[in-house]
Chain A
Amino acid sequence: MSDRGHLKKTAHLAEVPASWESGPRGARPRRLLSTRTIVVYGTLFVAAAYYLLPLYVMIVTSLKGMPEIRLGNIFSPPLEITFEPWVKAWSSACTGLNCDGLSRGFWNSVMITVPSTAISIAIASINGYALSNWRFKGADIFFTILIVGAFIPYQVMLYPIVIVLREIGLYGSLSGLVIVHTIFGMPILTLLFRNYFAGLPEELFKAARVDGAGFWGIYLKIMVPMSLPIFVVAMILQVTGIWNDFLFGVVFTRPEYYPMTVQLNNIVNSVQGVKEYNVNMAATILTGAVPLLVYFVSGRLFVRGIAAGAVKG
């Protein structure tokens, strides 16, 4: 950063005393700033380049023709832009004998993600509500088991769930997978909602009780309308989490219901035929597009969601 940059920076800081106060460092911005700024920004830009590189390579590769890929290097921009790999990835890429592209996986994933997100959030928010406002004896025991269960490797519970689903006749179906996502989303979401509801003023709840509202009335008329932000956070968490799932999709569904991630892996890692790297990369971007879109649109809420999802307890 040049000297001008430094001047601009101090001027900018002087203008906004609020952000100045909230930061961790105190006065004396004039000293050392130029060398330090170079180091700070230099490192950050190098790191940013490293993080962006794969995305760039994915996009560039997906827009090239195969001859160009074989000759050129992966970082060079395409000489001739073609969208054919995208079309092929969407509608005619093959997994084994099946050649109807990723579109089937996409719609499967939609059919899995939408009900799973809705049901898991509905159940978890009711759990959180019951746990924070209507705590009954023994509720905390279940909650503790739930939270501890969040740390148990999924592999431990896979087979018992297979048996349960087989008993109720849902093994291999989309509804079975929806149940599985609801189960494994429950610990984090319940925690999220419990903490949020516990933070709401208790007077509201008491006033509603005095006015004669019951369990469901308070939930639907007071808790849900007051907690829309946390519902959005939960939605972000679930949509990205369920869309990105691979293990449950592979274990609990039949091939015709495979979600997009599973199908993507089958397309790219299938051993038959010539490897079409451009189609593979187009398919990879298509699969990553939904969570990326959620991420870019939601911005800070996403950060809040993962922080809530990550910091348990």
Chain B
Amino acid sequence: MTGQATDRTTVPRRSGRPNRLTRNLSAKIASIPMMLTAVVIFLGGTLWTVLYSFTSSKLLPRLRFVGLDQYERLWAAPRWLVSIENLAIYGIFSLIFSMVIGFVLAALMDQKIRFENTFRTVFLYPFALSFIVTGLVWQWLLNPEHGIQSVVRAMGWAGFSFDPLYDSGIVIYGILIAALWQGTGLVMCLMLAGLRGIDEDIWKAARVDGIPMWKTYLFVVIPMMRPVFVTTLVIIASGIVRVYDLVVAQTSGGPGIASEVPAKYVYDYMFQAQNLGQGFAASTMMLITVAIIIVPWAYLEFGGGRKRV
């Protein structure tokens, strides 16, 4: 109440007047949940986890520092190495495929087709489903006894073998298929929005110059869509690092440890194995991975003085 009263007297908002604590008091009180979330959870929680990753915490967090011990142990653990390798394979392929498939679908959708809304609905509906549902459906489709493999064999190709979920060498590709099914619709939508943002005159000019369509796409449109690509890349990449539910539902990390991912390592060590230190160290590594992706992007997009489209 006092905030409003004081405020009414300070006529121009955002003026350079000396700041008083009571100014905008209502707004400040209303923002308390946001401040708490930002400072206590996001900032405090992150720093807390990083700090405790240098301790020997086991069942309970304890401030007994052991330097980089947890990290040394982490990088010596076969399960972590498998997780990282899986994340790298999964990450690279899902980036490439979802970008390519998403862009191609968007380009096709942009050809003044009929039933555009129907197609969009079809391509995007998996995105509304949870990773658990996605994982379980694909677990069933890839079931070796009843799924795609058995159907193709029954059709006469007896030697056909497509059994990713029970073959530790290729299990991560089985997860990749499910992830692409779930996520490419979103990429398509973002790309389509980007394509719709391209000035029509560009197409006219390319036509007048007699440049074939694929060349226009490759050398004119795609470079023009750089911001869209970068944003999409960041979105997919930060989703990749988090991948967890899908693996839990589809394979539970198996066979053996063949489809483990870092997020699952963190969860298992924090809440199952009661080895908190390992969990903290692993989650800090995840944080670093994300930082490697985000910081250059943030710098390019916001720091370099360039305007985003």
Residue among B23, B34, B111, B131 having the largest count of chain A Cβ atoms under 10 Å:
B34
Distance from B194 Cβ to chain A, minimum over Cβ atoms (Å): 10
Interface SS, A side: helix
- The stretch that binds B, out of A22-30, A87-95, A96-104, is A22-30
* Contact among B34, B49, B270 for A146, CB-based, below 8 A: B34
Question: A209–B290 Cα gap in the complex (Å)?
Answer: 43
Distance from B267 Cβ to chain A, minimum over Cβ atoms (Å): 7
Residue among B7, B132, B189 having the largest count of chain A Cβ atoms under 10 Å:
B132
**In the complex the two chains form, is B112's CB within 8 Å of A25's CB?**
yes
**In the complex the two chains form, is B263's CB within 8 Å of A186's CB?**
no
Which residue of A is nearest B287, CB measured?
A: A156
Question: A39–B161 Cα gap in the complex (Å)?
Answer: 30
| Residues of A in contact, count (CB < 8 Å) | 103
**In the complex the two chains form, is B8's CB within 8 Å of A209's CB?**
yes
- The stretch that binds B, out of A77-85, A110-118, A227-235, A285-293, is A285-293
Question: A123–B129 Cα gap in the complex (Å)?
Answer: 26
User: A161 interface residue, CB < 8 Å from B?
Assistant: yes
Q: Given the known A-B contacts A215-B30, A269-B249, are A159 and B279 also in contact in the complex, defined by CB atoms under 8 Å?
A: yes
Question: A270–B104 Cα gap in the complex (Å)?
Answer: 40
Q: Given the known A-B contacts A51-B185, A292-B129, are A160 and B41 also in contact in the complex, defined by CB atoms under 8 Å?
A: yes
User: A274 interface residue, CB < 8 Å from B?
Assistant: no
Q: How many pairs of residues, A versus B, come closer than 8 Å at their CB atoms?
A: 298
**In the complex the two chains form, is A153's CB within 8 Å of B287's CB?**
yes
Residues from 112 to 155 in B contacting A, C-beta threshold 8 Å: 112-114, 117, 119-133, 136-141, 143, 146-148, 150-151, 154
Contact string, B160-180, partner A, CB cutoff 8 A, digits 1/0?
000000000000000000000
User: B256 interface residue, CB < 8 Å from A?
Assistant: no
**In the complex the two chains form, is B112's CB within 8 Å of A13's CB?**
yes
Contact string, B170-199, partner A, CB cutoff 8 A, digits 1/0?
000000000001000110011001011010
**In the complex the two chains form, is B203's CB within 8 Å of A265's CB?**
no
**In the complex the two chains form, is B61's CB within 8 Å of A159's CB?**
yes
16 contacts between A and B (CB under 8 A): A24-B200, A28-B207, A130-B34, A135-B13, A135-B14, A137-B19, A149-B37, A158-B270, A160-B44, A186-B34, A190-B34, A212-B8, A244-B133, A265-B249, A280-B136, A288-B133
What is B's interface to A at a CB cutoff of 8 Å? 1, 3-4, 7-8, 13-14, 19, 23-24, 26-28, 30-31, 33-35, 37-46, 48-50, 52, 61, 104-105, 108-114, 117, 119-133, 136-141, 143, 146-148, 150-151, 154, 181, 185-186, 189-190, 193, 195-196, 198, 200, 203-204, 207, 231, 235, 238, 241-242, 244-245, 248-249, 252, 263, 266-267, 270-271, 276, 279-280, 282-284, 286-287, 290, 294, 301-302, 308
Besides the contacts A25-B203, A246-B244, what 12 more A-B pairs have beta carbons closer than 8 Å?
Answer: A23-B200, A28-B207, A36-B111, A51-B125, A123-B34, A145-B42, A146-B37, A152-B46, A156-B284, A244-B130, A264-B133, A296-B121
